[in-house]
């Protein structure tokens, strides 16, 4: 899987966004992948490994908003993920890299928040 998201003509490095997300309180690890979008081509979809994944939608939103609030200080607006999914673990390779090609499949089964148009 590529490590760049092409969002509305801008190349966004997944590694850069992941590094900022990992620095946020309560985030154990992070992975960012592209998600197809009919208007912008691709959107950023962040998967955040947290200690405890909330089960109620409003708590998922609160946790995701808290992480993005902190990330706003370090990332340009177009680099903020539109979609945020919370997971309790990542599937990993023998060398401990996250298996990103499987994340889109997971995204349909884990709590995900769509921030839509950012203000």
Q: How is the chain split into domains, by residue range?
A: 4-114
pLDDT, tens digit (0-9, with 9 covering 90-100), for 34-64: 999 999 999 999 999 998 888 888 898 999 9
Task: Measure the CA–CA gap between 67 and 52, rounded to whole angstroms.
Answer: 14
pLDDT, tens digit (0-9, with 9 covering 90-100), for 99-116: 998 898 887 788 888 988
Full-model pTM: 0.91
Neighbours of 58 (CB within 10 A): 9
Q: DSSP 3-state assignment of 46?
A: strand
Helix ranges (H only) for the chain are 14-22, 57-72, 103-107
CATH 3.40.50.970 for domain 4-114, yes or no, is no
Strand-strand pairing, 4-7 and 83-87: unpaired
Task: Measure the CA–CA gap between 26 and 111, rounded to whole angstroms.
Answer: 16
Task: Measure the CA–CA gap between 105 and 101, rounded to whole angstroms.
Answer: 8
């Amino acid at each position: 899987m590529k490590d760049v998201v092409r969002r509305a003509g801008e190349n966004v490095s997944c590694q850069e966004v992941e590094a900022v997300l990992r620095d946020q309180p309560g985030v154990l690890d992070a992975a960012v992948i592209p998600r197809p979008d009919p208007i912008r081509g691709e959107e950023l979809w962040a998967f955040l490994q947290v200690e405890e994944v909330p089960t109620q939608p409003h708590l998922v939103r609160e946790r995701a908003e808290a992480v993005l609030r902190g990330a706003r200080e370090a990332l340009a607006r177009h680099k903020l993920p539109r979609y945020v999914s919370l997971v309790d673990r990542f599937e990993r390779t023998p060398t401990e890299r996250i298996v990103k090609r499987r994340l889109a499949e997971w995204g349909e089964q884990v709590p995900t928040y769509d921030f839509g148009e950012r203000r």
